[in-house]
């Protein structure tokens, strides 16, 4: 592991440290970073959405409201998509629109605005308007088809556009947000339009920031600028959420109201909502978020818990299978693994784990009889969606996604040539040094700043995640006072260091011999506040270490 120390200056005091950490994230306006703007005060153009397109859509919706026209919101089955559908549907329904949600099923309809999905929603009668959330930016043929049927089309999405302009009539698109918050901004504008007419309550969308936090954090968008606003204000609201489904989900994931942070969303709430879309019905997850009946919410959360457990077991089993094939990509610059046993609901999790373990972009393919579906995860500096698009026409694939994650569909007979071509492209375009595991470190932390106050002050920079990683430091010349292994099979290392600091190194138990008493070491880690038996103390979360 290479340590990439971003700042060579040693901060003298805590404010210099905060300044340095924020600058390391490429942020110049420190005050704004520490005190983000409320999402309620972000304008449509602030977040990169074209106000003219919103105006066009609102005008059409006003007419739809008067004429009681039928509207379908076409969502997506991942956590971001479910939260987006919930926000737009609930807002419009409460404002008296004749609106219903449609969330495609992964296996039955496939991802995004698909012909199969459109066919299904038409079975319930032709709507007058279709609004997409969290999808649609590359579904050109499908939008054209809807228009040909005489349906008015409103697209809201945040995925990467391709070279063609969408035929949808109103394009509410930006890549600066997640799907949930694009939907929220649009919902807020619909609410504002409706309120100027009949001055109803003005609290609908302002009470939905909790869902915005869940969507933003779950979709791994960079937590800076507007996304930081949504995550910060949203987490605050999530901690005292009035939404029954979220209350029960929080309880089911073992988190506590008042203590909900980005980790609770990433490891507690989001995986449970995602599990439904992966293996069962995302619409039930949406129902759980919308219901006002405690019994109904309990029942749905019970289902979610069961499905989540199944998802965990399945992922574990398939991951082991994937890992056993590691020799296949030893010499390649990208990992491609295909298997008939890979359930398409968990290929994203498999690709993510492979990328994390081997520091290479990874694609996991669920092989079907005629067509196969793939999920890709990448590392910074390798735009995986663009890379896949170079093969799209030649291999007649469907490709969609972001710089770091993509989905694809390919004919099964073309997988072999796909692998061959992509291995070659990766060898040409991905430089090996980008693939060596390197960890960014903010600076060397002087001993005067190794205290609880520093750890607590650094928390004001949270929520952490993509684009705003948790601050990490080098701790030089620390003396080992005591060391031992803890946990199941001695997996982790617990250390006491001089001067008087506890440290823990998860997954580093086998390196106990490098930590003999009296040994001087350099550590790379993060400062954390350890709460135990009502006492708070400082603890270093060790990510890596070298003998000094
Ligand atoms: Mn999304």
pLDDT in tens, 429-465: 998 776 778 889 999 999 999 999 999 999 999 999 9
For residue 437, the model assigns a pLDDT of 80
Q: pLDDT tens across 224-275, in order?
A: 999 999 999 999 999 999 999 999 999 999 999 999 999 999 999 999 999 9
For residue 361, the model assigns a pLDDT of 96
For residue 196, the model assigns a pLDDT of 58
Residues near ion ligand 1 (Cβ under 5 Å): 80, 134, 179, 219
Ligand 1 center–CA 208 separation, angstroms:
17
Q: pLDDT tens across 135-161, in order?
A: 999 999 999 999 999 999 999 999 999
Ligand 1 center–CA 316 separation, angstroms:
25
Sign of the C-alpha dihedral computed for residues 303, 306, 310 and 316 taken in this order: positive
Instruction: Provide the token pair at 379.
Output: 């590392």
**CA-closest candidate to residue 219, choices 171, 154, 274:** 274
For residue 229, the model assigns a pLDDT of 98
Instruction: Provide the token pair at 105.
Output: 């099923």
DSSP secondary structure letters along 7-29:
--SPPSSHHHHHHHHHHHTT---
328, 321 Cβ separation under 8 angstroms: no
> Average pLDDT for residues 202-229, to the nearest whole number?
94
Is residue 197 very low, low, confident or very high in pLDDT (cuts 50, 70, 90)? low
Please tell me which residue, 129 or 516, carries the higher pLDDT value. Answer: 129
Ligand 1 center–CA 98 separation, angstroms:
25
Ligand 1 center–CA 82 separation, angstroms:
9
Ligand 1 center–CA 114 separation, angstroms:
16
For residue 438, the model assigns a pLDDT of 83
216, 223 Cβ separation under 8 angstroms: yes
> Average pLDDT for residues 155-174, to the nearest whole number?
96
Ligand 1 center–CA 195 separation, angstroms:
29
Sign of the C-alpha dihedral computed for residues 166, 230, 246 and 348 taken in this order: positive
Is residue 200 very low, low, confident or very high in pLDDT (cuts 50, 70, 90)? low
**Separation between Cα atoms, residue 116 and residue 108, nearest integer Å:** 8
Ligand 1 center–CA 369 separation, angstroms:
28
Ligand 1 center–CA 278 separation, angstroms:
15
> Average pLDDT for residues 180-209, to the nearest whole number?
84
Is residue 397 very low, low, confident or very high in pLDDT (cuts 50, 70, 90)? very high
Q: pLDDT tens across 280-315, in order?
A: 999 999 999 999 999 999 999 999 999 999 999 999
Q: How many C-beta atoms surround the C-beta of residue 370 within 10 A?
A: 7
For residue 515, the model assigns a pLDDT of 87
362, 387 Cβ separation under 8 angstroms: no
CA dihedral 491, 496, 497, 502 (to 10 degrees): 90
**Separation between Cα atoms, residue 169 and residue 147, nearest integer Å:** 8
For residue 378, the model assigns a pLDDT of 95
**CA-closest candidate to residue 315, choices 270, 369, 275, 373:** 275
Ligand 1 center–CA 513 separation, angstroms:
45
For residue 189, the model assigns a pLDDT of 96
Q: pLDDT tens across 325-344, in order?
A: 989 988 999 999 999 999 99
Ligand 1 center–CA 216 separation, angstroms:
8
For residue 483, the model assigns a pLDDT of 92
For residue 55, the model assigns a pLDDT of 98
Does the structure show a pLDDT above 80 at 194?
A: yes
To the question of pTM greater than 0.85 for the whole model, the response is: yes
For residue 533, the model assigns a pLDDT of 84
Does the structure show a pLDDT above 60 at 543?
A: yes
Q: pLDDT tens across 100-118, in order?
A: 999 999 989 988 999 999 9
Q: How far is residue 154 from each of residues 97, 171, 183, 488, 510, measured CA to CA in Å?
A: 15, 6, 11, 53, 56
Lowest-pLDDT range of 190-204, 296-310, 529-543: 190-204
Q: pLDDT tens across 21-80, in order?
A: 999 999 999 999 999 999 999 999 999 999 999 999 999 999 999 999 999 999 999 999
Residue with tokens 């409103």: 154
For residue 383, the model assigns a pLDDT of 94
H or E element that contains 109: helix 106-109
Return the bridge partners of 89, or none.
none
Residues 6+ apart with CB under 8 A from 95: 65, 190, 191, 194, 200, 204
For residue 42, the model assigns a pLDDT of 97
80, 179 Cβ separation under 8 angstroms: yes
Angle at 59 between CA 136 and CA 208, to 5 degrees: 60
**Separation between Cα atoms, residue 153 and residue 144, nearest integer Å:** 9
Is residue 548 very low, low, confident or very high in pLDDT (cuts 50, 70, 90)? low
Ligand 1 center–CA 84 separation, angstroms:
9
Ligand 1 center–CA 158 separation, angstroms:
7
Phi, psi of 331 (to 5 degrees): -100, 5
Ligand 1 center–CA 113 separation, angstroms:
13
Instruction: Provide the token pair at 393.
Output: 């026409």
For residue 2, the model assigns a pLDDT of 87
Ligand 1 center–CA 361 separation, angstroms:
20
How much of the chain, in percent, has pLDDT values that exceed 70? 98
């Amino acid at each position: 592991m290479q340590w990439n120390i971003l700042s060579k200056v040693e901060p003298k005091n805590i404010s210099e440290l905060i300044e340095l950490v924020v600058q390391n994230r490429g942020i110049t306006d420190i005050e704004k970073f520490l005190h983000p703007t409320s999402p309620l005060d972000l304008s449509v153009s602030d977040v990169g959405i074209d106000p003219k397109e919103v105006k066009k859509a609102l005008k059409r919706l006003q007419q739809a409201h008067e004429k009681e026209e039928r509207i379908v919101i076409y969502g997506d089955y991942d956590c971001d998509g479910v939260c987006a559908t919930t926000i737009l549907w609930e807002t419009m329904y409460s404002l008296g629109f004749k609106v219903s949600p449609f969330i495609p099923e992964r296996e039955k309809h496939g991802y995004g605005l698909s012909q199969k999905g459109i066919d299904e929603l038409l079975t319930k009668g032709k709507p007058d308007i279709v609004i997409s959330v969290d999808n649609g930016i590359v579904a050109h043929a499908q939008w054209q088809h809807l228009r040909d049927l005489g349906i008015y089309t409103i697209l809201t999405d945040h995925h990467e556009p391709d070279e063609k302009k969408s035929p949808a009539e109103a394009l509410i698109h930006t890549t600066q947000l997640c799907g949930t918050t694009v939907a929220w901004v649009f919902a807020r504008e619909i609410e504002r339009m409706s309120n100027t007419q009949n001055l109803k309550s003005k609290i609908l969308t302002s009470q939905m920031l909790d869902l915005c936090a869940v969507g933003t954090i779950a979709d791994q968008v960079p937590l800076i600028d507007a996304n930081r606003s949504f995550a910060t204000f949203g987490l605050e609201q999530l901690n005292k959420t009035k939404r029954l489904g979220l209350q029960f989900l929080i309880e089911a994931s073992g988190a506590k109201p008042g203590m909900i942070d980005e980790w609770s969303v990433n490891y507690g709430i989001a995986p449970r909502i995602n599990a439904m879309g992966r293996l069962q019905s995302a619409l039930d997850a949406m129902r759980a978020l919308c219901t006002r009946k405690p019994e109904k919410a309990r029942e749905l959360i019970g289902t979610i818990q069961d499905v989540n457990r199944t998802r965990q077991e399945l992922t574990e089993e398939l991951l082991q299978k994937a890992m056993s094939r590691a020799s296949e990509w030893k010499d390649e610059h990208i990992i491609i693994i295909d298997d008939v046993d890979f359930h398409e609901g968990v290929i994203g999790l498999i690709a993510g784990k492979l990328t994390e373990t081997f520091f290479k972009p990874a694609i996991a393919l669920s092989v079907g009889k005629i067509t196969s579906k793939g999920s890709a995860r990448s590392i910074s500096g390798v735009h995986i969606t663009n890379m896949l698009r170079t093969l799209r026409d030649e291999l007649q694939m469907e490709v969609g996604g972001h710089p770091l994650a993509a989905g694809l569909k390919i004919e099964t007979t073309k997988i072999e040539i796909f692998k061959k071509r992509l291995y070659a492209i990766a060898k040409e375009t991905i430089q090996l040094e980008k693939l060596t595991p390197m960890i960014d470190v903010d600076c060397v932390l002087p001993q005067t700043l190794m205290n609880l106050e520093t750890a607590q002050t650094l928390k004001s920079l949270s929520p952490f995640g993509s684009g705003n990683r948790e601050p990490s430091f080098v701790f030089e010349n620390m003396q080992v006072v005591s060391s031992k292994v803890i946990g199941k099979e001695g997996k982790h290392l617990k250390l006491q260091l001089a001067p008087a600091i506890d440290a823990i190194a998860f997954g580093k138990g086998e390196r106990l011999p490098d930590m003999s008493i009296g040994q001087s070491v350099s550590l790379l880690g993060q400062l954390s506040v350890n709460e135990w038996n009502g006492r708070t103390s400082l603890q270093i979360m060790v990510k890596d270490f070298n003998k000094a």
